[in-house]
């Protein structure tokens, strides 16, 4: 009977559009390769059209010795075509000219048709890696690496995927803004509170059931949806996750969403939605329990979230 009740709750929430996001570029994500017997850095570099120096740099290796069973990140590469420039490629793959030059060991902006170019996308954290060592290898600062991946501390774990592609926007760009200076507001009704947790993050919470809350996070102006999706999937780790088409949902709150993910387990459900509000990208992370009371609480919460404004 209990399982049947959960199913009823899920159907009710779906009707409201609640049930069913920091990255790959259009070049495709980097891959993780497990070292096999007979592999050498030279053979792997040759196979993937890289140099040994690049493979060592991008995997934070201090020597050419590799061990059976260890894992290497094999970066994405592209073949330079006629008409390509570092600027056009940096723009296309959401990186910067300086970063492309750094990881490809280029001393000028000149590139040659037919040559391979490493494109920064994702890296898998290995034992011994730190934010500093990863940032250094990809021409980033620790602050930039944390910002790209929406990290609030320097703690990372083995096996974690980090995005290492970064394009700095001109501050004069009409679409650019300082996320840390944006203020988010909603109009909470009786039974809910709304407060700032920290710069860029705000929380709407039920006063009677603290397990029911929505976190609103201001994202960077140069947001990459694939990065956000990857980051959000990591957040939902341990849940069964479904990605939904916002336009196919019945509730208007989701119709203009740029990303719509839903995860659930035996106890809780979590919905992650990314929307653009007043020219600012906001990620909504909505938490609630697998209980019948959700049918009463969640619709009220979503109604409040529909009043979201940014200034």
The model's pLDDT over 85-122, given as tens digits with 9 standing for 90+, comes to: 888 898 888 888 888 988 898 888 889 999 999 998 88
User: Mean pLDDT, to the nearest integer, of 60-89?
Assistant: 89
> Mean of the per-residue pLDDT values for the chain?
84
Distance, C-alpha 234 to centroid of its chain: 8
Is residue 15 scored above 80 in pLDDT?
Answer: no
Is residue 228 scored above 70 in pLDDT?
Answer: yes
At 146 the pLDDT is 87
At 17 the pLDDT is 40
Helices 294-305 and 2-15: crossing angle in degrees, nearest 10, is 20
DSSP-derived letter for residue 180 is G
Is residue 66 scored above 60 in pLDDT?
Answer: yes
At 175 the pLDDT is 52
Domains along the chain? 7-21+175-310 (3.40.1000), 31-163 (3.10.350.10)
Reported confidence tier of residue 21, pLDDT bands at 50, 70, 90? very low
At 292 the pLDDT is 92
**pLDDT higher at 60 or 270:** 270
The model's pLDDT over 279-308, given as tens digits with 9 standing for 90+, comes to: 889 999 999 999 999 999 999 999 999 999
SS3 content of the chain, % helix, strand, coil (to 5): 30, 25, 50
pTM exceeds 0.75, yes or no: no
At 96 the pLDDT is 81
- Sequence-distant (≥ 6) Cβ neighbours of residue 113 within 8 angstroms: 80, 81, 82, 84
Reported confidence tier of residue 127, pLDDT bands at 50, 70, 90? confident
Cα–Cα distance measured from residue 152 to residue 146, given in angstroms and rounded to the nearest whole number? 7
């Amino acid at each position: 009977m209990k399982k049947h009740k959960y199913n009823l709750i899920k159907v009710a929430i779906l009707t409201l559009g609640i049930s069913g996001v920091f990255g790959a570029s259009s070049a495709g994500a980097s891959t993780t390769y497990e070292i096999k017997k007979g592999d050498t850095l030279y053979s792997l570099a040759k196979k993937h059209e890289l140099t040994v120096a690049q493979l060592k740099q991008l995997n934070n290796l201090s020597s050419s010795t590799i061990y059976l069973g260890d894992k290497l990140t094999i970066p994405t590469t592209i073949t330079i075509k006629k008409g390509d420039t570092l600027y056009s490629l940096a723009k296309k793959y959401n990186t910067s000219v300086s970063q492309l030059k750094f990881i490809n060991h280029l001393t000028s902006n000149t590139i040659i048709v037919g040559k391979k170019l490493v494109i920064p996308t994702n890296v898998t954290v290995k034992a011994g890696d730190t934010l500093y060592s990863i940032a250094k290898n990809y021409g980033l600062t620790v602050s930039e690496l944390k910002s790209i991946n929406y990290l609030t501390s320097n703690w990372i774990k083995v096996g974690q995927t980090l995005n290492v592609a970064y394009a700095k926007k001109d501050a004069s760009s009409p679409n650019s803004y300082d996320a840390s200076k944006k203020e988010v507001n909603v109009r909470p009704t009786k039974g809910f509170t709304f407060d700032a947790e920290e710069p860029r993050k705000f929380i709407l919470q039920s006063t009677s059931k603290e397990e029911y809350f929505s976190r609103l996070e201001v994202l960077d102006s140069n947001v990459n949806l694939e990065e956000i999706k990857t980051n959000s999937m990591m957040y939902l780790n341990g849940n069964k996750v479904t990605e939904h088409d916002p336009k196919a949902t019945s509730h208007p709150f989701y119709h203009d969403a740029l990303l719509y993910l839903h995860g659930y387990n035996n106890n809780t459900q979590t919905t992650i939605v990314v929307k653009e509000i007043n020219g600012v990208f906001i990620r909504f992370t909505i938490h609630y329990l697998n209980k019948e009371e959700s049918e009463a609480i969640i619709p009220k919460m979503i109604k409040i979230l529909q009043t979201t404004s940014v200034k």
